[in-house]
Amino acid sequence: MAKELTSMSENYSQWYNDLVVKADLAENSAVRGCMVIKPYGYAIWEKMQAQLDKMFKETGHVNAYFPLFIPKSFFSKEAAHVEGFAKECAVVTHYRLKNDEDGNGIVVDPDAKLEEELIVRPTSETIIWNTYKNWIQSWRDLPILCNQWANVVRWEMRTRLFLRTAEFLWQEGHTAHATKEEAIEETYKMVNVYADFAEKYMAVPVIKGHKSENERFAGALDTLCIEALMQDGKALQAGTSHFLGQNFAKAFDVQFANKEGKLEHVWASSWGVSTRLMGALVMAHSDDNGLVLPPKLAPFQVVVVPIYKKDEQLSQISEKVEAIIEKLRAKGISVKYDDSDAKKPGWKFAEYELKGVPVRLAIGPRDIENGTVEVARRDLLSKEVVNMDGIDDYIENLLDDIQSSIYKKAFDYRADRTTEVDTWDEFKDVLNTKGGFISAHWDGSPETEQKIKEETKATIRCIPLDAKEEEGKCIYTGKPSNKRVLFAIAY
Amino acid sequence: MAKELTSMSENYSQWYNDLVVKADLAENSAVRGCMVIKPYGYAIWEKMQAQLDKMFKETGHVNAYFPLFIPKSFFSKEAAHVEGFAKECAVVTHYRLKNDEDGNGIVVDPDAKLEEELIVRPTSETIIWNTYKNWIQSWRDLPILCNQWANVVRWEMRTRLFLRTAEFLWQEGHTAHATKEEAIEETYKMVNVYADFAEKYMAVPVIKGHKSENERFAGALDTLCIEALMQDGKALQAGTSHFLGQNFAKAFDVQFANKEGKLEHVWASSWGVSTRLMGALVMAHSDDNGLVLPPKLAPFQVVVVPIYKKDEQLSQISEKVEAIIEKLRAKGISVKYDDSDAKKPGWKFAEYELKGVPVRLAIGPRDIENGTVEVARRDLLSKEVVNMDGIDDYIENLLDDIQSSIYKKAFDYRADRTTEVDTWDEFKDVLNTKGGFISAHWDGSPETEQKIKEETKATIRCIPLDAKEEEGKCIYTGKPSNKRVLFAIAY
């Protein structure tokens, strides 16, 4: 009856892919590595965007738009950045096609070669700092607090829907400040915004921390991140906020006259989240029956399915349903009434379970007689019969309860899958048997991190902001360490 | 004091460019033909987007996202489309850069040549219909009513900010229907949505009509459009809605089983508006002092400037202003209070005039004594002193009045600049002396239209939907015609 999903326990990766495709979130396109985001998936992304955009504006940011293309030479200006970003990318070399003289359709016109190749932006620091150069003369022009909603392209070899695609949608904030302190403050402010969003809207608990040097953004002095744990025990980096120091200001010669009239280089931050959040949302909560969506991001929060045999029953039911819908909408609750006769109720139940609609109401002739409604909650797959009077208050509370329950479930799962270890054997053992986050001492060196990665595939996900001072010994080298860091195998 | 603008009468084109740059709407970027949309300009575009998106959803549409890249071969599948779109475009030929062995920075890696070149989308019919093929099996899968907000690239040789840029932002609706009638109905529905938006929000009156064959979208059977008149007497195409027949369904083999189980090709429409609307908005209303924005699209509708000498005066004023702002915000009116002491009131007045803020309030010590406010309206550059009591209602009405006044002004201008002519001499004379829309008979042939264009630069902007049947003779060939069409020189 329902579209078949591979079960999580059988093959987690296949389960994820089945779910994304069958719940109509996204699919692969004819273009290698590029996805089509389908209307149901895009509706969730729109809700994410709207909330994030609101939070950005509340923290003083404005939106702008910068070019899709970046001249190749711009990448060479910041040494670390070029290594990180200008390698696997889409390169525009020509600006015209023409009819082939031999009749083989259309071909690239060799006469239309660009003088300098253009790179489809993998991230926009370079083009934006080249622009900021003209916007900034004095301390009065600072800070600049711009965000951009855009598509970016990174030529990934192995792609997975939402998690790693050649083209993806994201937002990138790029801020310019007069002082180092202010730029650092901004970097922290935005990682906090991301964490709030993940926890309060996506219902995904996250750990805030610093990236180690190995995992830092190419061109940053410090990268803050939020890390989430998926139900297969792997970590997923869900957002990053970078303190860029004066690197890009120096690379693009962006200086400002300070209050004393002296020229100084500008300080920078950048921060971003992407459609990857969709992957995190799917993997954090869903089950073998399909998606489980937090009410705050569900395209519709309630679906109503009429159960009837005769048309006159349907019209009686519809009348009651309209009244309920009106009351729910008055509370700002989004509702879909599926009275189509093309599908049976059982098919609809399975379909809306697959799509993760938080609450399902079913109303049949007996409910009309008794003044009741059958209410099913998606997260627990539980049902109860509820009085129609006060159903709007009931559902309002239920949605709040679902939002907090799925957060709590994810939080408890993470707590259960976070293990403190003190020896290398224990580290390997926990990683192989239990997975999840491993809290362990590390000697702080990139070489040690690299060796651990080579031997176990685990990386340092972050050095938690709230890590407490604690004397210990590196699990790998035995050298002294003063705080624990979080390791995991990551997406 | 103010940033200098070239006057409209001196050089309209320079005036436009000055205004776009100096009012902080947009600027040219380091990438040929690509613009940077600055925060103030982007804030207007966001308001346009939000309203259009609402109107699309109210008419049953959903958003989705399709790939930025289109395989070259897709363009060859629809014969007319390839001629129109696959010529001047950005072509991605490689997917990797590498460090030059001779130390010349980074170069394109010749080993990373794509098997098939990818075109940066100039419009998405081909990739979308290739996707729809998998979404459509039976009549139950129809209609599909998708819209996409995206960036597109057309390699224009001569570019102008907003009006014609290599990269621009737009929305493109792509719908699929079971019947010809339904697809045609959709085409009309959307041109009506565009006209409503232009008139009610942008305050720009438009003429709805059909494009002639010469001006039709490449691949369409019929193109509907909205045409607006700018203050220099030139026309601007502000939105188009295309009936695509079964052309793309045939090119991409998209068939559905109808209710009788017989396979048929799907019927299509597509429709779009772009950041070009920003150009129309600027040129329709602004003057030598700067932008004039319709209240419904202004990033902020009211600016308040305190006039003071001593700090204690400022605190008295600020107290009153806060109370006013609270009342205005309660009515949904957006307000900015500019109490910065870095600039003098005169500078601020000029700046907000340049930026087209619909209403300016100025409050000084005498106003505090008298319980008054000075209210200036941007469109008429008029001022009056108004009692502080009831100022919120006063401003609410004033904003409505400004919205309708600027529409009426543009409407009257267009009426004045629309001329019926019946002879070729008259046609040329009106075109040279008065410009604007010329309503004239035409024999219906592409050849005649082409000759008129070659001799005068005027094109047929549209065959108005409301054109009445009227016997006449083509102004150019004297052949019979049964309705008038609108000619103009266009952007």
Distance from C-alpha of A78 to C-alpha of A245, rounded to nearest angstrom? 12
Copy the structure tokens of residue A389: 């009077």
- Closest B-chain CA to A131: B29
Closest CA to A341 of A309, A370, A372, A369: A309
A358-370 average pLDDT score: 97
B84 CB within 8 Å of a chain A CB: no
Angle subtended at Cα B354 by Cα B352 and Cα B355, rounded to the nearest 5 degrees? 60
Confidence (pLDDT) at A86: 65
Residue of A42, A45, A93 lying closest to B91 (CB–CB): A93
A153 CB within 8 Å of a chain B CB: yes
B410-428 average pLDDT score: 98
pLDDT tens-place string over residues B2-22 = 568 999 999 999 999 999 999
B291-311 average pLDDT score: 97
Q: Residue B84 above 80 pLDDT? A: no
A158-182 average pLDDT score: 97
Contact B89 A105 (CB under 8 A): no
Could you tell me the end-to-end alpha-carbon distance of chain A, in angstroms, rounded to an integer?
Answer: 32
Q: How confident is the model at residue A298 (pLDDT cuts 50, 70, 90)?
A: very high
Confidence (pLDDT) at A228: 98
CATH pick for B418-488 out of 3.30.110.30, 3.20.20.20, 3.40.630.30, 3.40.50.10170: 3.30.110.30
A461 CB within 8 Å of a chain B CB: no
User: Which residue ranges does chain A devote to CATH 3.30.110.30?
Assistant: 418-488
A343 CB within 8 Å of a chain B CB: no
Contact B131 A90 (CB under 8 A): no
Which CATH code for domain B12-285? 3.30.930.10
B25 CB within 8 Å of a chain A CB: no
Closest CA to B459 of B470, B469, B468, B448: B448
Instruction: Kindly list the distances between the CA atom of residue B222 and the CA atoms of B206, B238, B338, in Å, as whole numbers in the listed order.
Output: 19, 17, 50
Q: What CATH class is the domain B295-412?
A: alpha beta
Confidence (pLDDT) at A101: 78
HSE-up (13 A, CA, CB side) for residue B153: 27
User: Which residue ranges does chain B devote to CATH 3.30.930.10?
Assistant: 12-285
Contact A36 B67 (CB under 8 A): yes
Give B51-59 contacts, CB < 8 A, sequence gap 24+: B51/B197, B51/B201, B51/B296, B51/B297, B52/B171, B52/B193, B52/B197, B52/B273, B53/B147, B53/B149, B53/B171, B55/B193, B55/B196, B55/B197, B56/B147, B56/B171, B56/B173, B56/B193, B59/B189, B59/B190, B59/B193
Chain B residue numbers touching A89 (CB-CB < 8 A): 95-97
Confidence (pLDDT) at B99: 83
Confidence (pLDDT) at B86: 65
B150 CB within 8 Å of a chain A CB: yes
Contact in structure between A233 and A216 (CB atoms under 8 Å):
no
B380 CB within 8 Å of a chain A CB: no
Distance from C-alpha of B383 to C-alpha of B405, rounded to nearest angstrom? 16
CB pairs under 8 A between A and B: 179
A368-381 average pLDDT score: 97
User: Which residue ranges does chain B devote to CATH 3.40.50.800?
Assistant: 295-412
List Cβ neighbours of A280 (8 Å cut-off, separation of 6 or more). Answer: A198, A202, A204, A228, A230, A236, A238
Chain A residue numbers touching B27 (CB-CB < 8 A): 134
Chain B residue numbers touching A97 (CB-CB < 8 A): 72, 75, 86-87, 89, 91, 119
The one-letter amino acid code at A197 reads F
Contact A66 B29 (CB under 8 A): yes
* Distance between A45 CA and the closest CA of chain B, angstroms: 10
Confidence (pLDDT) at B2: 53
Distance from C-alpha of A443 to C-alpha of B107, rounded to nearest angstrom? 38
B161-176 average pLDDT score: 98
- Closest A-chain CA to B25: A64
Distance from C-alpha of A424 to C-alpha of A438, rounded to nearest angstrom? 11
Distance from C-alpha of B226 to C-alpha of B206, rounded to nearest angstrom? 6
- Closest B-chain CA to A65: B37
Closest CA to A359 of A321, A395, A325: A395
Confidence (pLDDT) at A480: 97
Contact B34 A76 (CB under 8 A): no
Burial B109-122 (b: 16+ CB within 10 A, else e): beebebeebbbbbb
Closest CA to A491 of A212, A227, A231, A234: A234
Contact in structure between A126 and A70 (CB atoms under 8 Å):
yes
The one-letter amino acid code at A302 reads V
Chain B residue numbers touching A29 (CB-CB < 8 A): 66-67, 127, 131
Q: Residue B85 above 90 pLDDT? A: no
Q: Residue A2 above 70 pLDDT? A: no
Distance from C-alpha of B291 to C-alpha of B3, rounded to nearest angstrom? 13
Please classify residue A373 by burial: count the beta carbons closer than 10 Å to its beta carbon, then call 0-12 exposed, 13-18 middle and 19+ buried. buried
Chain A residue numbers touching B29 (CB-CB < 8 A): 66-67, 127, 131
A131 CB within 8 Å of a chain B CB: yes
Closest CA to A440 of A455, A454, A460: A460
Contact A34 B69 (CB under 8 A): yes
B245-253 average pLDDT score: 96
Q: How confident is the model at residue A1 (pLDDT cuts 50, 70, 90)?
A: very low
- Closest B-chain CA to A70: B31
Please name every residue paired with B377 in a beta bridge, in sequence order, or none if there are none.
Answer: B359, B382
Neighbours of B29 (CB within 10 A): 22
pLDDT tens-place string over residues B189-212 = 999 999 999 999 999 999 999 999
Residues of chain A numbered 177-216 and touching chain B (CB < 8 Å): none
Higher pLDDT, A146 or A215: A146
Q: How confident is the model at residue B406 (pLDDT cuts 50, 70, 90)?
A: very high
What H or E segment, with its residue span, contains residue B368?
A: helix B365-370
Average pLDDT along chain A:
96
Q: Residue B221 above 70 pLDDT? A: yes
User: Which residue ranges does chain A devote to CATH 3.40.50.800?
Assistant: 295-413
ipTM computed for the complex: 0.96
Closest CA to B263 of B255, B271, B253: B255
CATH pick for A295-413 out of 3.40.47.10, 3.40.50.800, 3.40.50.300, 3.40.50.720: 3.40.50.800
What H or E segment, with its residue span, contains residue B411?
A: helix B391-416
Distance from C-alpha of A407 to C-alpha of A203, rounded to nearest angstrom? 4
Contact B87 A98 (CB under 8 A): yes
Task: Say how far residue A387 (Cα) sits from the centre of its chain.
Answer: 39
- Mutate which of B25, B48, B68, B165 to test chain A, going by most A C-beta atoms within 10 A? B68
Distance from C-alpha of B93 to C-alpha of B466, rounded to nearest angstrom? 48
Chain A residue numbers touching B64 (CB-CB < 8 A): 36-39, 42
The one-letter amino acid code at A203 reads A
Instruction: Kindly list the distances between the CA atom of residue B465 and the CA atoms of A272, A442, B186, B223, in Å, as whole numbers in the listed order.
Output: 47, 74, 15, 12
Chain B residue numbers touching A118 (CB-CB < 8 A): 31, 90
Q: Residue A365 above 50 pLDDT? A: yes
Burial B191-217 (b: 16+ CB within 10 A, else e): bbbbbebbbbbbbbbbbbbbbbeebbb
Q: Residue A25 above 80 pLDDT? A: yes
B304 CB within 8 Å of a chain A CB: no
CATH pick for A12-70+122-285 out of 1.10.10.10, 3.30.930.10, 3.30.360.10, 3.40.1260.10: 3.30.930.10
B42 CB within 8 Å of a chain A CB: yes
Distance from C-alpha of A225 to C-alpha of A55, rounded to nearest angstrom? 17
* Distance between A89 CA and the closest CA of chain B, angstroms: 5
Instruction: Kindly list the distances between the CA atom of residue B127 and the CA atoms of A439, B22, B118, B225, in Å, as whole numbers in the listed order.
Output: 47, 39, 11, 24
Confidence (pLDDT) at B1: 41
pTM of the model: 0.97
B323 CB within 8 Å of a chain A CB: no
Contact A106 B43 (CB under 8 A): no
Contact A65 B120 (CB under 8 A): no
Q: Residue B288 above 50 pLDDT? A: yes
